[in-house]
């Protein structure tokens, strides 16, 4: 009798962004409540790779080998928060440029737009 085979299926997806300064990116995403899960350092001690997580969100960073040009990036990150107003206030207090809260059709509870240190666009919606 032939043995049934199970197809190989994906179990997770973690975006990895190439960034100019991995430590700077880790510090920025910590402002959003993410924590460092893993990292690798280059021989001179600078971070060359990092994995951050917060809730169900995961993101990895790798040090870019060429300049990061924000206008050429064809990706944005969509995140969710339980308290959009408090998160926006927190980011503003930390000196981060944040949009006002908008209410697009797909996110009537509210959404903000932020750019990380490398110009990646983050849209953050009110969860729940």
What are the sequence ranges of the domains in the chain?
A: 16-66, 75-128
Count, residues in the chain: 128
For the domain 75-128, what is the CATH superfamily, name and number? 2,3-Dihydroxybiphenyl 1,2-Dioxygenase, domain 1 (3.10.180.10)
CA 3 to chain centre: 42
Query: Fold for domain 16-66?
Result: 3.30.720
* pLDDT score, position 76: 87
Catalogue the long-range contacts made by 72-77 (C-beta closer than 8 Å, 24 or more residues apart): 73/118, 73/119, 73/120, 73/121, 75/15, 75/17, 75/120, 76/120, 76/121, 76/122, 76/123, 77/15, 77/120, 77/121, 77/122, 77/123
pLDDT at 3: 61
CB atoms within 10 A of CB 89: 12
Low-confidence ranges of the chain (pLDDT < 70): 1-4, 6
pLDDT of residue 2: 59
């Amino acid at each position: 009798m032939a043995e049934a085979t199970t197809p190989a299926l994906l179990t997770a997806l973690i975006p990895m962004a190439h960034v100019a300064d991995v430590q700077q990116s880790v510090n920025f995403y910590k402002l959003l409540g993410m924590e460092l899960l893993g990292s690798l350092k280059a021989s001179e001690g600078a971070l060359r790779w990092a994995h951050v997580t917060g809730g169900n969100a995961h993101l990895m960073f790798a040090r870019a080998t060429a300049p990061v040009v924000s206008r050429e990036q064809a990706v944005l990150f969509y995140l969710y928060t339980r308290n959009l107003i408090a998160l926006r206030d927190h980011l503003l207090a930390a000196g981060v440029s944040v949009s006002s809260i908008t209410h697009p059709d797909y996110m009537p509870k509210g959404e903000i737009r932020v750019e990380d240190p490398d110009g990646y666009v983050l849209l953050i919606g009110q969860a729940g």
